Each structure stands twice: as structure tokens, then as C-alpha cells.
Amino acid sequence: MPATATEARTKSPAEVYDELFVPALFGPWGEALCDRAEIGPGHVVLDVACGTGVCALAAARRVGAGGRVVGLDANPEMLAVARRKVSPVEWREGRAENLPFPDGIFDRVVSQFGFMFFEDQPGALGEMLRVLRPGGRVVVAVCDGLDHSPGYAVLTELLHRLFGAEVAEAFRAPFALGDRDRLRAIARAADVGAFEVLRVDGTVRFASIEALVSAERACVWTLGGLLDDKQLTRLLDAAEESLAPFATEDGAVAFGMPALCLVVDKPAA
């Protein structure tokens, strides 16, 4: 059963991610990314920055008994949550910039909403191509620009108005690569050859405005540790009005949050 927003404050960042953000935001993207990667029966798949396993688990359902899926993440807390789930996925700890695998052993390499946090993005992309077999495909998904996610854009402006630029900039971090030209520049720096950048639509849906705000406040990658209880109360009061246009009849809050997908096909030998 998903954690409530209040319970989220007592849980680890990985548990908050898995219990609040996966169902509200990231869950459907696993299947969407597998679609773009054209993952099928028998494939050997690597999920880089796998988190708690959304995309790796979706891939495992597709590859079947004849395939293999490896989920890799640098965060042991994320992997600990992933390992609690019953699945055939092999979970490995490691960094995207130095993948602990031989050359050319994977049919598909995917990475879902972690690429924007990598220290060396061209280097990580080069590593993904290195471990990919000839004829294989890499698909990397990042959050599209904040201006294409209206609810989060409103929340960012609200944070800026209430608490200043530093807090607002922290919240903008996941959207840092939401620019096609920046992704193209990274791909060229990695010398990947032919590639394309696609926009894929998605939706954010939290049970309430309070759930959205409280979950973001607990998220170590955005507002974690930046707002005290008094500031949270102030933000919640203001958000009820500012985010009201995104409220649904059942009290939930929903709005679009598209992704940009960088797709690279490695030439066949």
C-alpha cells in the first residue's frame, strides 16, 4: 500500500521514490521506454540508473525466460528496495560512467530519468554504446523542459515567489536536460553516430495537491531538507490556490509531464 505524504517523512529517499513517485509519475514510463527500445523475447537488456526497478521489471516481462535483464544503479538504497521485489532481474551496483560489463553483451540499453544527474553525460552515453551489441539500441529518457510540464512550472514559480531563487533552482534540477539541442550536443560529444530525439507524452497524477507538495518536500533530489514545517504549511496553503486548475473531480491533481528520448541504433557489424 503506498505511503501517505506524512509517512514519507520517516522513510528513506528510495522508499519515498518507490511508494510515492513511482505510482504518481514514473510507473508508466517503464513500458513506454521498453516500447521505444523495441524490447522483445530473448533480449539481453541493461537498465542504467535503474532506481527501484520500474523499467527493468517492465523489460523482464517482455524478454521472457529466454532473455536476461540487469538493473544497475549507483545508489545502494535504491537497489535494496528493488531487491525486495520478486523478479528475475539481476541487480548490480555501479556507475553509468564506468559500466562493469564487457564490450557488446547487451541487445538493448535503457536509462529512465537518471541521465540528467550523471556527472559525465557523454562518457556515460559512450559506455552504454560500448556494452551494446552491433545492431542493438540505446534509449535514454529525460524530463522535457519545465515549460512543457504546466503543473510543475506553476509550482516552481510559487517556490521562487515564496522562498527565493535557490529553492526554485533546486526544484528545476530534474528538468536540466529538457532541451533537444542540449541532448543533441551530448550525443555528438559522445560520437554516437546517427541518433534521434523524440518527445513522448506522459502524465503526473497525485492523490491530492497536498500529496504532491508533501512528496516533493520529501524528495532528496529536489526539495529534500530545504523546507521546514512552517515553510511547508505556507507552501501548502498557497499551492491549493495555484494548483487548483489541475485538480480533478475526485480531488486528485494531474497534468502533463512529457519526456525527451534519445534513441541511438548501433550499426550492425
Write the pLDDT tens digit of every residue in 129-165: 999 999 999 999 999 999 999 999 999 999 999 999 9
d(CA 154, CA 24): 18
What pLDDT was estimated at residue 227? 87
DSSP 8-state symbol, 26:
I
195: β partners: 264
Nearest CA to 232 among 250, 219, 221, 244? Answer: 219
CB 202 within 8 A of CB 29: yes
All structural domains of the chain? 5-265 (3.40.50.150)
Q: State the cell numbers at 132.
A: 551494446
3-state secondary structure of 70: strand
What pLDDT was estimated at residue 143? 96
Q: Give the pLDDT confidence of 46-78 residue by residue, as tens digits.
A: 999 999 999 999 999 999 999 999 999 999 999
pTM: 0.92
What pLDDT was estimated at residue 225? 81
d(CA 205, CA 23): 8
Provide the residue-wise pLDDT of the chain in tens; the chain has 269 residues.
344 444 545 678 888 888 888 888 888 899 999 999 999 999 999 999 999 999 999 999 999 999 999 999 999 999 999 999 989 999 999 999 999 999 999 999 999 999 999 999 999 999 999 999 999 999 999 999 999 999 999 999 999 999 999 999 999 999 999 999 999 999 999 999 999 999 999 999 999 999 999 888 888 778 888 888 899 999 999 999 999 999 999 999 999 999 999 999 999 97
Q: State the cell numbers at 192.
A: 554516437
What pLDDT was estimated at residue 45? 98
CB 5 within 8 A of CB 28: no
CB 165 within 8 A of CB 224: no
d(CA 89, CA 145): 32
